[in-house]
């Protein structure tokens, strides 16, 4: 299963003018559903939709924001795609669950899924919000600071959970400190791992973490949204 992290404008993301033969294995943009007579394909029109959505989202989140949401939209800003993959993403999900719950022992072997994992089940049953889990378990992160993942609709009207790029970065730093205390150079090297079923759980988590770390760093530097694509 294809799972990517897209960093760039939402205009470009929803226009699908970033995909290639690999990424097109994922879901179509809700704006560009095949054979839909009302499909929106024009980036200029999409930019207007996204801009209005950002204003509405800013009003929705105003109690949590120190200033209104703002970043450059359109097709001109740079973008980048990180291939985290289903198993790399699963590694990050399980790493977060085990770090948050402190549950032991952790798996030692490659994990094909997180369904039925005791740490994942435990964190899903928690009654109170867990900041680390809330911010990792989102599918859109915005260049702003607010504490938890928040349920909302994306520019196409699809429901999702949105989080903060800045708080995601803090969560990733916490995961690194709690598990490895690795330097940025060492983390960058983890992206060279090949995720096969013969590798360890540790290798799986390191690869997924490294992609999240690098893409979040890029989103912070460019003050751009980051979107989970699958």
Give the Cα separation of 86 and 3 in Å (integer): 5
Q: Which pTM value belongs to this model?
A: 0.90
Determine the length of the chain.
230
Note the pLDDT tens digit of each residue in 100-148. 999 999 999 999 999 999 999 999 998 777 878 888 889 999 998 887 7
Distances (CA, A) of 41 to 86, 152, 170: 28, 23, 36
Sort strands 159-164 and 140-142 into parallel, antiparallel or unpaired: parallel
pLDDT digits over 63-109, tens only? 888 889 999 999 999 999 999 999 999 999 999 999 999 999 999 99
Residue 16's closest CA among 52, 46, 49, 37? Answer: 46
């Amino acid at each position: 299963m294809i799972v990517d992290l897209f960093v760039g404008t939402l205009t470009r993301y929803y226009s699908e003018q970033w995909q290639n033969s690999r990424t097109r294995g994922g879901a179509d943009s809700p704006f560009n559903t095949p054979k839909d007579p009302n499909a929106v394909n024009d980036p200029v029109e999409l930019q207007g939709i996204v801009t209005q959505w950002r204003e509405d989202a800013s009003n929705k989140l105003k109690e949590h924001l120190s200033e209104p949401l703002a970043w450059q939209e359109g097709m001109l800003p740079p973008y980048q795609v990180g291939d985290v993959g289903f198993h790399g993403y699963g590694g990050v999900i399980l790493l977060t669950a085990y770090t948050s719950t402190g549950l032991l022992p952790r798996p030692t072997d490659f994990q094909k899924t997180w369904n039925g994992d005791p740490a994942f089940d435990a964190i899903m049953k928690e009654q109170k919000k867990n900041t680390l889990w809330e911010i990792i378990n989102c599918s859109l992160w915005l260049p702003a600071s607010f504490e938890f993942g928040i349920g909302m609709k994306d520019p196409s009207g699809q429901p999702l959970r949105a989080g903060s790029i800045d708080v995601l970065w803090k969560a990733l730093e916490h995961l690194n400190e709690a598990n490895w205390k690795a330097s940025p150079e060492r983390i960058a090297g983890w992206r060279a791992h090949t995720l096969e079923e013969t590798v360890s759980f540790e290798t799986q988590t390191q690869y997924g973490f490294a992609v999240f770390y690098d893409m979040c760093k890029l989103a912070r530097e460019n003050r751009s949204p980051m979107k989970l694509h699958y």
